[in-house]
Amino acid sequence: MVSAVSAAFEKAAAEQRAALIGYLPAGLPSVDGAIEAAIAIAEAGADIIEIGLPYSDPLMDGPVIQEAVHRALTGGTRVADVLETVRAVAGAGIPTLIMTYWNPVEQHGVGRFARELADAGGSGLITPDLTPEEAGPWLAAAASYDLDPVFLVAPSSSDERIGLITAACRGFVYAASLMGTTGARESVGSEAEGLVRRVRAHTSLPVAVGLGVRDGKQAAAVAAFADGVIVGSALVQRLLAADSPAGGLAGVRALASELASGVRAGR
Amino acid sequence: MTAGAPVPGGAVPGGAVPDAAGYFGSYGGRLAPEALMAALEELTAAYAEAKADPAFQAELSALLTGYAGRPTLLTEVPRFAAQAGGCRVFLKREDMAHTGSHKINNVLGQALLTKRLGKRRVIAETGAGQHGVATATAAALLGLDCVVYMGEEDTRRQALNVARMKMLGAEVVPVTTGSRTLKDAMNEAFRNWVSTVEYTHYCIGSVGGPHPFPMMVRDFQRIIGVEAREQIMRAAGRLPDAVVACVGGGSNAIGIFHSFIPDAGVALIGCEAGGDGRETGRNAATLTFGSAGVLHGMRTYILQDADGQTLQTHSISAGLDYPGVGPEHAWLRETGRASYRPISDSEAMHAFSVLCRTEGIIPAIESSHALAGALQLGRDLGPGGVLLVNLSGRGDKDVDIAGHWFGHLGNGSPAQSGPAQSGPSLTDSPLTGGGTAGAAW
């Protein structure tokens, strides 16, 4: 079966544009508040939502997402809350994945996690610290529950590794635009376009670019060469900076709208 | 005492593990971001070449003897042994190595490798500062740029080691994220490494992290056991009944254990930081109280909650205060070849005091956990037994903490404040004082 995420990429491609993917951690500013924010981002034009699973040691994340997950964990967010967040967002008809470091999945039980994710209506997992070589149990569970395993490629990835990684991905391939952690940047790395080109030599899956995109202009620039534009820290920053839940919602809605215009102006 | 325990089927002589994917049994591996895979593969290949290159080995050997002060002594400590059931006790004197601990063995190897990789910068994580000081030392010696990540809490508590690193030309970056201690320093070092990997080597300080670090750091620390085995055969005329070492990440322990793994009659005993005990949750005894999981690029034992979130740890000894452990230890425990026991803060400080007063040697508080284990084991063995204890470091860095513990400084409570020092942390100690959290290898 074609996953909701794959269908979203197909729809965007049919409209001659890149898809917009928004990231938010569960539990920020609260479990319900994050659900509202995710739905607001989708309503403003995002095609796909990534729900971050807050983790104590987020070693691929920059200061903004570190602060966000710290607040979410301090607020008591549990794995069960993340799955409920997925249920609510996916239940609103929005293609939804979880982005998570690996240990929480392993402790929950890989098979159990996959079953509960599928039951909640989630499409798959993005795993920033798990590569296909170490993903045997997860790939088996993903196949059993018809979930999308999404792995990352980096500018430093060899062609051999890109082949290995793209062969294990389903739904899309996550291309890290630069060598670094998450966080909005002045410009998106020039390495991104070359990486996308190298990935396309190995797969017909959509290629989405993440890390560093912060505004509509950058989204348009990335949309010119990628199938998807992933935005995390810039959205999260709007929630962190807001002095009220309503202010946070307005902030992410405005940015998502700008980004959605960006991906439509890219080609 | 398990001195007669057979080597289990899975335990093979040194060098045969890990497998090509970095696994010691089901522990180890490379659970790291894709962005680091190229560097980890490059490092694995470069290390394999260096290991087989006589020129590299000769250069390292020359530094270890001419600079670090190897071989380190083996000292028999009869007055200490009298407190340990009257058996014979020998100390492997890593405290006499340059910079004051075994850490120098590993950093000299990795610093030479950094040059071989054509990189000009090393980064390191540190808690108490011992690994940071050793890395800064090797960087100064070999002309490398050096940045050390250290939890903000630890930079304040270990201000003297921060000054040492700066004197040696290193930059010290206080880490203000998470719990602001060792594991967060390691997170921050990984973050920096991802963005600077082209010209930077991450000099991990213990037998942890993604493959090849646990294997490579073990190999650089093996010299401890290679020397000690020969020395004790000469001094005691036989193998010891047990080899005892403290375990945080576990590099000094794996270093002294490794040469004895094939000797089935030699018990290998790791002493973990029991802190205040299990009930309080204030400990860092990963193998005793933890469970299998993934942290910092490896599958190993970790202290975690049901959701897989890393727990806060506590130990009076900075260098043992880490929620994970090297994967080879998890494997040695699982196969039964080594066993691990928690030593409480108060037991460690008692052993610290015994060694000071009976032998005139001030040990590191980390190493005092091994000494406490030796006091227990010696009483079980009785006269006729032989114990080899790794004295992994000297206690100069701990004078402040120990001075307050024993009431020689201040008012009998630790000078340094922090989350762990809000009140006396011990109920079973006749001594005044409390613990100090944070810090590390």
Set of chain A residues whose Cβ sits within 8 Å of the Cβ of B310: 56-57
Distance between CA atoms of residues A201 and B244, nearest Å:
55
Burial state string for B373-392 with b = 16 or more CB within 10 A and e = fewer than 16: bbbbbbeebeeebbbbbbbb
Residue B125 annotated as catalytic: yes
Contact A129 B183 (CB under 8 A): no
Averaged pLDDT score across all residues of chain A: 96
| Residue B438: per-residue pLDDT | 34
Smallest Cβ–Cβ distance between A60 and the set B21, B33, B293 belongs to B33
Set of chain B residues whose Cβ sits within 8 Å of the Cβ of A154: 33-35, 37-38
Share of chain A above pLDDT 70, in %: 99
| Residue B16: per-residue pLDDT | 66
Distance from CA of B30 to the nearest CA of A (A): 8
Residues in chain A: 267
Set of chain A residues whose Cβ sits within 8 Å of the Cβ of B294: 102-103, 106, 129
Structural domain for A213, as ranges: 4-265
Contact B293 A134 (CB under 8 A): no
Set of chain B residues whose Cβ sits within 8 Å of the Cβ of A152: 33-35
Structure tokens at A18: 């890149």
Distance from CA of B69 to the nearest CA of A (A): 37
Distance from CA of A176 to the nearest CA of B (A): 8
Contact B190 A134 (CB under 8 A): no
In this structure, what CATH number is given to the domain that contains residue A53? 3.20.20.70
Structure tokens at B226: 């290679």
Set of chain B residues whose Cβ sits within 8 Å of the Cβ of A73: 309
| Residue B2: per-residue pLDDT | 38
Secondary structure letter of residue B73 according to DSSP: P
Of A6-15, A33-42, A72-81, B15-24, give the lowest mean pLDDT range.
B15-24
Q: Decide if B224 contacts B235 (C-beta within 8 A).
A: no
Chain B contact present for A163, CB below 8 A: no
Structure tokens at B410: 């201040």
| Residue B411: per-residue pLDDT | 62
Distance from CA of A93 to the nearest CA of B (A): 28
Distance between CA atoms of residues B159 and B178, nearest Å:
20
Share of chain A above pLDDT 90, in %: 91
* pLDDT at residue A180 is higher than 50: yes
| Residue B441: per-residue pLDDT | 55
Contact B195 A179 (CB under 8 A): yes
Contact A57 B183 (CB under 8 A): yes
ipTM over 0.90: yes
Q: Are strands A48-52 and A148-150 parallel, antiparallel or unpaired?
A: unpaired
- Chains A, B: CB contacts under 8 A, how many? 111
Closest residue in B to A179 (Cα) is B195
Residue B279 annotated as catalytic: no
Given A36, A47, A61, A193, which residue is catalytic?
A61
The DSSP line for B245-314 is EEESS-HHHHHHHGGGTT-TTSEEEEEEEEET-TTT---B-HHHH-EEEEETTEEEEE-B-TT-PBPP--
Distance between CA atoms of residues A151 and A167, nearest Å:
10
Distance from the first to the final alpha carbon of chain B:
29
Of A41-45, A108-112, A188-192, B100-104, give the lowest mean pLDDT range.
A188-192
Contact B35 A78 (CB under 8 A): no
Q: Decide if B397 contacts B364 (C-beta within 8 A).
A: yes
Given B94, B101, B103, B315, which residue is catalytic?
B103
* pLDDT at residue A9 is higher than 80: yes
Chain B contact present for A131, CB below 8 A: yes
Number of domains in chain A: 1
The neighbouring-strand residues paired with A25 are: A52
* pLDDT at residue A209 is higher than 70: yes
Set of chain A residues whose Cβ sits within 8 Å of the Cβ of B313: none
A-interface mutation test, from B23, B27, B34, B180, most A Cβ less than 10 A away? B34
Distance from CA of A251 to the nearest CA of B (A): 26
Contact A131 B191 (CB under 8 A): no
Smallest Cβ–Cβ distance between B29 and the set A79, A104, A134 belongs to A134
pLDDT in tens, chain B (441 residues): 333 333 333 444 444 689 999 999 999 999 999 999 999 999 999 999 999 999 999 999 999 999 999 999 999 999 999 999 999 999 999 999 999 999 999 999 999 999 999 999 999 999 889 999 999 999 999 999 999 999 998 888 788 899 999 999 999 999 998 778 889 999 999 999 999 999 999 999 999 999 999 999 999 999 999 999 999 999 999 999 999 999 999 999 999 999 999 999 999 999 999 999 887 888 999 999 999 999 999 999 999 999 999 999 988 888 898 999 999 999 999 999 999 999 999 999 999 999 999 999 999 999 999 999 999 999 999 999 999 999 999 999 899 999 999 999 986 544 443 333 333 333 333 333 333 333 335
Set of chain A residues whose Cβ sits within 8 Å of the Cβ of B302: 103
Closest residue in A to B304 (Cα) is A107
Q: Tell me the residues of B at the A interface, defined by beta carbons under 8 Å apart.
A: 21, 29-35, 37-39, 177-178, 183-184, 186-187, 190-191, 194-195, 197-198, 293-297, 302, 304, 306-310
Contact A57 B198 (CB under 8 A): no
Distance from CA of B435 to the nearest CA of A (A): 24
Distance between CA atoms of residues B207 and B325, nearest Å:
8
Q: Decide if A227 contacts A12 (C-beta within 8 A).
A: yes
* pLDDT at residue A104 is higher than 70: yes
Chain B contact present for A129, CB below 8 A: yes
